[in-house]
C-alpha cells in the first residue's frame, strides 16, 4: 500500500508544476471567515471537488479572503492561487480574474485538471455575487 502512495506522489510531481505543488503543500489563505461578507460554494460532481471561498470587503475592496477546499492537489493549489490574485483587488477587478489567469500564474495545469481553475474562478464569482446580493438587500 505504501508503495502505491509513493508512486501516486511521484506521478503528481511530474504532472504538476513546482509552483502548484508549493501552493498545495503550503496553501495561502486557507481557513474560514466566520463573519464573511460573501461566501461562494462550488463543486464538481464528476471528480468530487468542493470549494468554499469567503470574502471580507471594505471600501469596495477584498480586504480578506480565505478558502476551504476538499479535493485533489490541483483543487487546493488553484484555491490558494485565486485568493492571492483577488486579495486587495476591487470587486470589479476581482470579477475579471479568469480561470486562465489562475492556471497561468501556476505555470499551467494538465488539461485533465483545468476544471479546477474553473472551479476556483467560479467560487470567487459566487462569493462576490453573494456579497453584492446582501449589499443590495441592506439598501432596500
Round to whole Å and give the CA distance between 31 and 28.
Answer: 9
Cα dihedral 118, 66, 129, 85 sign: negative
Catalytic residues: 47, 116
Summarize the confidence of residues 23-33 as an average pLDDT: 97
The pTM assigned to this predicted structure is 0.89
Q: According to the model, what pLDDT value does residue 69 have?
A: 97
CATH code linked to domain 2-139: 3.90.1010.10
- Position 13 confidence tier, pLDDT thresholds 50, 70, 90: low
Indicate the Cα dihedral angle 109, 111, 114, 116, nearest 10°.
Answer: -80
Amino acid at each position: 500500500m505504501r508503495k502505491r502512495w509513493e508512486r501516486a506522489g511521484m506521478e503528481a510531481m511530474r504532472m504538476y508544476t513546482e509552483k502548484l505543488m508549493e501552493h498545495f503543500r503550503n496553501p495561502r489563505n486557507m481557513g474560514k471567515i466566520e463573519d464573511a461578507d460573501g461566501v461562494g460554494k462550488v463543486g464538481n460532481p464528476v471528480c468530487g471537488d468542493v470549494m468554499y471561498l469567503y470574502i471580507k470587503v471594505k471600501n469596495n475592496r477584498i480586504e480578506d479572503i480565505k478558502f476551504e477546499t476538499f479535493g485533489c492537489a490541483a483543487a487546493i493549489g488553484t484555491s490558494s492561487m485565486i485568493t492571492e490574485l483577488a486579495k486587495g483587488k476591487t470587486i470589479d477587478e476581482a470579477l475579471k480574474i479568469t480561470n486562465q489567469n489562475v492556471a497561468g500564474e501556476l505555470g499551467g495545469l494538465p488539461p485533465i485538471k483545468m476544471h479546477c481553475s474553473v472551479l476556483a474562478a467560479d467560487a470567487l464569482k459566487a462569493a462576490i455575487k453573494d456579497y453584492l446580493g446582501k449589499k443590495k438587500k441592506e439598501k432596500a
